[in-house]
Amino acid sequence: MNVQRIALTAVCIAIVTVLVAIVPVPIPATGGFTHPGAIAEIFVAVAFGPVIGGIAAGVGAAIADLVLGYGSFAPLTLVAHGSLGLLAGYLGWRKGWQGMMIGWVIGGLALVAVYFLGEATVYGFGVAGAWAEVPINLFQVGLGISGILLYELVRRAYPQIDQLAGKPAFQER
Convert the pLDDT of each residue in 107-155 to its tens digit: 999 999 999 999 999 999 999 989 999 999 999 999 999 999 999 999 9
Structural domain containing residue 140: 3-163
- Confirm whether 173 is domain-assigned: no
- Confirm whether 172 is domain-assigned: no
pTM (two decimals) = 0.93
- Whether residue 55 contacts residue 15, with contact meaning beta carbons closer than 8 Å, is answered with no
Q: What is the total count of domains within the chain? A: 1
Convert the pLDDT of each residue in 21-41 to its tens digit: 999 998 887 788 899 999 999
- Confirm whether 60 is domain-assigned: yes
Convert the pLDDT of each residue in 50-98 to its tens digit: 999 999 999 999 999 999 999 999 999 999 999 999 999 999 999 999 9
* CATH at residue 130: 1.10.1760.20
Q: How far apart are CA 72 and CA 76, in angstroms?
A: 8
